[in-house]
């Protein structure tokens, strides 16, 4: 890619014109990693964190899906999309990090990378919000696109 796609010929911001693109099944997977300090990890039970605000992972899943559905409202030049599917999985890895994976898909003329990234990001922020009373030493380490398929070019990040 040799140019910014959200700049028009005059150099001003513009939504990408997808009118000539083919309608295909498009899928994107994004991941966020949240590092929890011991003060938070000690509240885990059966792989879940329970807080006075409720079940943390379940709340984060709902928040992430809701956010993915609103991506076009949150990011100015994103197309508003009606997702066919959005799912979020959350688990704790062997390094005691919370791993959030958001998968979004639809059949359309434009991809869903931003929806997957927003879903994973908001799920991570929700976990932070629900656990911050226990410690402010929570770190959202990374959010990245893991893969996308169905558009002009596919992408898969090596793990």
The active-site residue out of 46, 84, 129, 154 is: 129
Retrieve residue 102's tokens.
């958001």
* Residue 129 among the catalytic residues: yes
Euclidean distance between CA atoms 54 and 67, whole angstroms: 19
Euclidean distance between CA atoms 91 and 100, whole angstroms: 7
Residues tagged active-site = 129
């Amino acid at each position: 890619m040799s140019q910014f796609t959200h700049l028009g010929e005059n150099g001003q911001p513009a939504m990408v014109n997808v009118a000539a693109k083919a309608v295909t099944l498009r899928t994107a997977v994004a991941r966020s990693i949240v590092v929890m300090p011991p003060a938070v990890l000690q509240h885990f039970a059966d792989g879940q964190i329970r807080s006075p605000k409720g079940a943390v992972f379940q709340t984060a899943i709902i928040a992430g899906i809701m956010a993915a559905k609103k991506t076009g409202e949150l990011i100015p030049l994103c197309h508003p999309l009606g997702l066919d599917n959005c799912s979020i999985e959350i688990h704790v890895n062997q390094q005691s990090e919370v791993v959030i994976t958001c998968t979004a898909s639809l059949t359309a003329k434009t991809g869903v990378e931003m929806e997957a990234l927003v879903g994973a990001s908001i799920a991570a922020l929700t976990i932070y919000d629900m656990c911050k009373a226990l410690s402010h030493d929570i770190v959202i380490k990374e959010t990245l696109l893991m893969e996308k398929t169905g558009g002009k070019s596919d992408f898969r990040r090596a793990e």
